[in-house]
Amino acid sequence: MKVFNTLSRRKEEFVPLEPGKVRMYVCGPTVYNFIHIGNARPMIVFDTVRRYFEYKGYDVNYVSNFTDVDDKIINKAIEEGVDASVISERYIAECKKDMEGMNVKPATTHPLATEEIHGMLKMIETLIEKGYAYKAEDGTVYYRTRKFKDYGKLSHKNLEDLQAGHREIKVVGEKEDELDFVLWKPKKDGEPYWESPWCDGRPGWHIECSVMAKHYLGDEIDIHAGGEDLIFPHHENEIAQSEAANGKEFAKYWMHNAFLNIDNRKMSKSLGNFFTVREISEKYDLQVLRFFMLSAHYRSPLNFSAELMEASKNGLVRILTAVERLGELLPSVADKEMTEEELGVQSQVKELVAKYEASMEDDFNTADAISAVFELVKLANTSVDEKSSKALVESVKTTVERLCDVLGIITEKKEELLDADIEALIEERQQARKDKNFARADEIRDTLAAKGILLKDTREGVKWTRA
């Protein structure tokens, strides 16, 4: 299996540290709001990576954190006049709902930064003992960046370039060097804090991940992953901390997904050009979002658009309809030996499975893997019917289901997928009525009637049933 490693900038053969096992850490979201669909990209992509390893028989220990102490969480807590934990707990719960909707498996462990402070204090102490960190007068603990000889190996930056980039910035506080970064910082009024040998305060962001990875996966892990904006400084700093403290190579493979864009700009909270997963779920079944994300290679930028979402929905419905038809054939097809011709179909199925696997093993090329699934669906639609043997129908059906399952696509969910459509139409009709666009409202009612959907106005709103 080939994995593109950001460290070497090449595709490398995947060799696990321990045979049959994969230890992987994926940086999770900062929980101060609903997640947006940009944040959903790494969740979907690396869940698919995990699922493929599991399909290949690996035992995957998958750890993904929630960053539950951060300036943005604290600001939101102040805004609402509540404790920071109220904010983080609320959005962790909401994030888990979104993950479930996108069929992202729960991680083996979802650690919370605030529950791992002890480990952070220990790692910072080790770094100070080894001369890689120092306490400034105000109690801030900094990492001594220049001391770590490999600094820049992940982001392929050298210290001189970094230095140049810093020229404009004044040395703040008591830093020895402008490249030094924070491991521990003093509390400010009203902020959550913990006691430490240096000051009452809280951890820097980078140390959290180094410590959570160490706690749940050990000093050496196979894969560390996240969005490409994390390469620098977050992952570079994690390497500096973990390798200096543990004296071992931290992660063998570093995987990074490209951005989800909108109008060719990164979707982000700060630019305000985002859709939350929750908003998308009002219009589409989240399986459509998942399928859309996987329709591109994870290292290619992906532009979000309504057209591409529609195309993804149609593609998905095509697959699910084929599986549904095979299921409907099953009770009535004859339990007989496969004919010569069927054996031919069977071997074409095997070839397509091989094509699918080869795509996934080429750095998880889900776009090509999905093409193989479409070819399989085409084969099913043209070569399997009521005259087929039960063995063939079963074999084609379970193959499509198995390959979809690796992509996290639930093949039985066709009705729900279409239900989302119906609800979107009903909503549009309500709006049309409000806008006094009765022609459009009637048109939607007719469209729905043609699909066998009956509408009823009730006190709680519009209810619908299938005729």
Question: Which one of the spans 27-35, 176-184, 266-274, 389-397 is the region binding Zn ion (CB under 5 A)?
Answer: 27-35
When CB distances to ligand AMP are compared, the closest residue is 227
Give CA angle at 329 (324, 335), nearest 5°: 140
For 160, counting Cβ atoms within 10 Å of its Cβ (0-12 exposed, 13-18 middle, 19+ buried), the class is: exposed
d(CA 353, CA 372): 7
- Its sign, for the CA torsion 358, 361, 365, 370, is positive
Q: Which of 26, 27, 221, 380 binds Zn ion (CB under 5 A)?
A: 27
Q: Which amino acid is at 186?
A: P
Q: Which does 191 bind (CB under 5 to 8 A by kind): ligand AMP, Zn ion, none?
A: none
268, two tokens: 């982000």
Q: Which of 209, 403, 407, 409 binds Zn ion (CB under 5 A)?
A: 209
Within a 10 A sphere around the Cβ of 287, how many other Cβ atoms? 26
State in angstroms the smallest separation of the CB of 97 from ligand AMP: 17
Q: Which does 359 bind (CB under 5 to 8 A by kind): ligand AMP, Zn ion, none?
A: none
d(CA 24, CA 15): 13
d(CA 227, CA 230): 6
Q: Which of 24, 27, 127, 420 binds ligand AMP (CB under 6 A)?
A: 27
Kindly state whether residue 85 participates in binding ligand AMP, applying the rule CB under 6 A.
Answer: no
d(CA 464, CA 467): 9
Question: Which one of the spans 132-140, 261-269, 404-412, 453-461 is the region binding ligand AMP (CB under 6 A)?
Answer: 261-269
- Its sign, for the CA torsion 331, 335, 341, 344, is positive
34-53 footprint of ligand AMP as x/- string (CB under 6 A): ----xx-xx-----------
The site for ligand AMP, by CB under 6 A, has a size of 17
Question: Which one of the spans 79-87, 128-136, 227-235, 451-459 is the region binding ligand AMP (CB under 6 A)?
Answer: 227-235
Q: Which of 213, 267, 349, 420 binds ligand AMP (CB under 6 A)?
A: 267
223, two tokens: 């894969």
268-287 footprint of ligand AMP as x/- string (CB under 6 A): x-------------------
Q: Which does 209 bind (CB under 5 to 8 A by kind): Zn ion, ligand AMP, none?
A: Zn ion
372, two tokens: 């193989």
- Parallel, antiparallel, or unpaired for β 21-26 and 59-64? parallel
State in angstroms the smallest separation of the CB of 209 from Zn ion: 3
Distances (CA, A) of 20 to 319, 346, 353, 411: 32, 30, 22, 28
Q: Which does 395 bind (CB under 5 to 8 A by kind): ligand AMP, Zn ion, none?
A: none
CB nearer Zn ion, residue 256 or residue 429:
256
Where in 239-258 is the site for ligand AMP (CB under 6 A)? 257
Name which of 102, 85, 94, 91 is nearest 42 in CA terms. 102
Phi and psi (nearest 5°) for 201? -175, -155
**Alpha carbon 156 to chain centroid, angstroms:** 25
Kindly state whether residue 30 participates in binding ligand AMP, applying the rule CB under 6 A.
Answer: yes
State in angstroms the smallest separation of the CB of 291 from ligand AMP: 17
25, two tokens: 């850490």
Kindly state whether residue 259 participates in binding ligand AMP, applying the rule CB under 6 A.
Answer: yes
State in angstroms the smallest separation of the CB of 348 from ligand AMP: 37
CB nearer Zn ion, residue 65 or residue 287:
65
Q: Which does 39 bind (CB under 5 to 8 A by kind): ligand AMP, Zn ion, none?
A: ligand AMP
Contact 310, 126 (CB under 8 A): no
Q: Which amino acid is at 382?
A: T
Q: Which does 266 bind (CB under 5 to 8 A by kind): Zn ion, ligand AMP, none?
A: ligand AMP
Name which of 385, 387, 394, 402 is nearest 346 in CA terms. 394
Question: Which one of the spans 9-17, 25-33, 188-196, 385-393 is the region binding ligand AMP (CB under 6 A)?
Answer: 25-33
State in angstroms the smallest separation of the CB of 27 from Zn ion: 3
Q: Which does 30 bind (CB under 5 to 8 A by kind): ligand AMP, Zn ion, none?
A: ligand AMP
Contact 161, 43 (CB under 8 A): no
Q: Which of 76, 224, 266, 414 binds ligand AMP (CB under 6 A)?
A: 266
d(CA 24, CA 52): 13
Contact 403, 358 (CB under 8 A): no
CB nearer ligand AMP, residue 232 or residue 374:
232
Kindly state whether residue 113 participates in binding Zn ion, applying the rule CB under 5 A.
Answer: no
Within a 10 A sphere around the Cβ of 414, how many other Cβ atoms? 18
The footprint of ligand AMP (CB under 6 A) covers: 27, 29-30, 38-39, 41-42, 226-227, 229-230, 257, 259-260, 266-268
Interface positions with Zn ion (CB under 5 A): 27, 209
